[in-house]
Amino acid sequence: MKKLFFPIIFSVTIVSGCLSESEFFDLADDYMYVQKEERRNDAVDWELVWEENFDMGFLDTTRWTRIGLFTSPQWKVPVENWRDVDNCFRYITATDERVVQFDDENIFLKGIVNPDSLTGDPRPYLTGGIYSWNKFAFQYGRIEIRAKLDPAFGAWPAIWMLSEKQIYPDQHNGEMDIMERLNHDDYAYQTTHNHFTITLKQVVPKKSATSSINPDDYNVYSVSWYPDRLVYAINGVKSYEYPKVPGAGTYQWPFDQPFYLLIDQQLEGSWPGLITNPEELPIDMTVDWVRLYQ
């Protein structure tokens, strides 16, 4: 049985077998859940329309792909060039079974010391991650992820979303960082990125906030996505709201297209710093479930 989780603060009606999918969303290309226009406001109850419980004991590859230097569309880098990757994905691997494991209730995305060269991988550390690109995406609604994060100096677990189709080729198509936690922090970051904030360096409206987490237990991380705002929360408590600015255009609001989900354990990088205590490894990013409400 799944563990109890923090009670959410809004009314939810669970989709049952007698309700039609089409009452809540249109299914584009058989995998993108586009919320119906009449449900894109505060006046409706949320419905559970998609979930992943990670209780199969293996990765459901109809929904997820393991992130790797070779397999990810944005990070196609030969492993021998890992030193040239100046971001958190320099240690990610899709081929080492040690970094993505399961029990009957969770998926464990690990950060480990690489003790051997059996796979010909020269990197000192290895990490695991999954993403739903081309398999599960959605537009509008509330996404929740229940996860427990092991701490370590140099650890940088993340739950985030990127645009599925990247329909604006001349600009940043947006990013929703639902959770980033550094090192041993007892709080997590939630951030919105776009061309407006990254390229144009605009600081209004506020793009980020932090909220407390229980560092020793599971927490529920979420973003509620409306046509005119993003509302971030941890354990049902609002962290901050990122609004659509009238007249700012797609540079500020590219969030009018489907997005997919990434969940990954990361190590090192300019933000968390280096692994200073390798004895803290291995660490787990333990994910219980993912739920989409619309």
Active site residues: 175, 180
Please choose, from the candidates 198, 155, 196, the residue with its C-alpha nearest in 3D space to the C-alpha of residue 179: 155
Q: Which residues contact 262 (CB under 8 A, 6 or more apart)?
A: 67, 129, 130, 131, 132, 158, 159, 160, 161, 162
Classify 286 as helix, strand or coil: strand
| Residue 57: how many other CB atoms lie within 10 Å | 11
* DSSP codes of every residue in 193-239: E-HHHHTS---SS--EEEEE--TTS-EEEEEEEETTEEEEEETTEEE
Both tokens of residue 223?
A: 């973003």
Distance of alpha carbon 104 from alpha carbon 110, whole angstroms: 17
Residue 185, CA distances (Å) to 97, 127, 156, 217 in order: 28, 20, 10, 13
Q: How many residues does the chain have?
A: 294
